[in-house]
Amino acid sequence: MTGRASTAPGRRVKRALGQAWERLSQGESGSLPVVLGLVLLWAVFQGLNGNFFSPRNLSNLSVDIVGTGLIAVGIVFVLLIGEIDLSVGSVSALAAAVFAVLNVNEGLPEWLALVIAVLAGALIGALHGFFFARFGVPAFVVTLAGLLAWNGLTLYLLGQSGTINLDDQGLVAKLTSYYFHDIAAAYGLAALGAAVFFLAACRDRRRRKAAAMPYRPLREIAVRTGLIAAVAFAAAYVLNQFQGLPLALLIFVVLVAALDVLLRRTPYGRRVYALGGGVEAARRAGVRVAWVRVSVLTVSGTMAALGGLFLASRITSVGQPSTSGILVLNAIAAAVIGGTSLFGGHGRTWCAVLGMLVIQSISSGMALLSIQSALQFMITGGVLLAAVVLDSVSRRSQKSRGRA
Partner 1 sequence: MSDPPLLALRGVSKRFGAVHALDDVELEIHTGEVVALLGDNGAGKSTLVKVIAGVDPADRGVMEWDGRAVQVKRPHDAQALGIATVYQDLALCENLDVVGNVFLGREVRRVGILDEVEMERRTLGLLAALSIRVPDVRLPVATLSGGQRQTVAISRSLLGEPRLLLLDEPTASLGVEQTAQVLDLVERLRDRGLGVLLISHNMGDVKAVADHAAVLRLGRNNGFFDVTTTSQEQIISSITGATSHARRPPRTGEAGP
* Pattern 99-118, partner 1, x by CB under 8 A: --------------------
CB-nearer residue toward partner 1: 37 or 276: 276
Nearest Cα to 221, choosing from 233, 212, 234, 208? Answer: 208
CB-nearer residue toward partner 1: 6 or 372: 6
**Interaction between residue 181 and partner 1 (CB under 8 A):** no
**Interaction between residue 213 and partner 1 (CB under 8 A):** yes
What Cα–Cα distance (Å) separates residue 313 from each residue in 90, 97, 386, 394?
Answer: 17, 12, 32, 39
**Interaction between residue 199 and partner 1 (CB under 8 A):** no
Determine the Cα–Cα distance for residues 318 and 314; give it in Å rounded to an integer. Answer: 10
Window contacting partner 1 (CB under 8 A); options: 88-96, 129-137, 379-387, 396-404: 396-404
Beta strand 164-165 pairing with 179-180: unpaired
Determine the Cα–Cα distance for residues 194 and 191; give it in Å rounded to an integer. Answer: 5
CB-nearer residue toward partner 1: 215 or 252: 215
Determine the Cα–Cα distance for residues 397 and 391; give it in Å rounded to an integer. Answer: 10
Determine the Cα–Cα distance for residues 216 and 22; give it in Å rounded to an integer. Answer: 18
DSSP helix/strand/coil, 153: helix
Among 12, 15, 174, 208, binds partner 1 (CB under 8 A): 208
Among 32, 196, 218, 285, binds partner 1 (CB under 8 A): 285
DSSP code of residue 164: E
**Interaction between residue 402 and partner 1 (CB under 8 A):** yes
Window contacting partner 1 (CB under 8 A); options: 148-156, 202-210, 291-299, 311-319: 202-210
**Interaction between residue 121 and partner 1 (CB under 8 A):** no
Helix, strand counts (H, E) of the chain: 16, 4
* Pattern 2-41, partner 1, x by CB under 8 A: ------------------------xxx-------------
**Interaction between residue 398 and partner 1 (CB under 8 A):** yes
How many alpha carbons fall within 13 Å on the CB side of residue 89? 22
CB-nearer residue toward partner 1: 208 or 314: 208
Q: Taking a C-beta distance cutoff of 8 angstroms, is the pair 286, 271 a contact? A: no
**Interaction between residue 399 and partner 1 (CB under 8 A):** yes
What are the beta bridge partners of residue 165?
A: 317
User: What is the C-alpha end-to-end distance of the chain, expressed in Å?
Assistant: 25
Determine the Cα–Cα distance for residues 247 and 175; give it in Å rounded to an integer. Answer: 6
Nearest Cα to 105, choosing from 157, 145, 34? Answer: 157
Among 226, 265, 367, 373, binds partner 1 (CB under 8 A): 265
Nearest Cα to 292, choosing from 329, 344, 342? Answer: 344
CB-nearer residue toward partner 1: 144 or 388: 388
**Interaction between residue 207 and partner 1 (CB under 8 A):** yes
**Interaction between residue 392 and partner 1 (CB under 8 A):** no
Taking the complex as a whole, how short is the minimal distance between the CB of residue 1 and partner 1, in angstroms?
Answer: 4
Taking the complex as a whole, how short is the minimal distance between the CB of residue 212 and partner 1, in angstroms?
Answer: 9
Alpha-carbon torsion 7, 8, 9, 15, what sign? negative
Among 159, 280, 322, 374, binds partner 1 (CB under 8 A): 280
Taking the complex as a whole, how short is the minimal distance between the CB of residue 402 and partner 1, in angstroms?
Answer: 5
Among 345, 354, 359, 384, binds partner 1 (CB under 8 A): 345
**Interaction between residue 67 and partner 1 (CB under 8 A):** no
> Who's near 122: CB < 8 A, 6+ residues apart?
298, 301, 302, 305
DSSP helix/strand/coil, 167: coil
Among 90, 346, 356, 364, binds partner 1 (CB under 8 A): 346
Nearest Cα to 70, choosing from 307, 279, 269? Answer: 307
Taking the complex as a whole, how short is the minimal distance between the CB of residue 295 and partner 1, in angstroms?
Answer: 16
Q: State the number of binding residues for partner 1 (CB under 8 A).
A: 37
Window contacting partner 1 (CB under 8 A); options: 153-161, 262-270, 355-363, 379-387: 262-270
In the complex, the residues that contact partner 1 under the rule CB under 8 A are 1, 26-28, 204, 207-208, 211, 213, 261, 265-267, 270-271, 273-274, 276-278, 280-287, 344-346, 398-399, 401-404
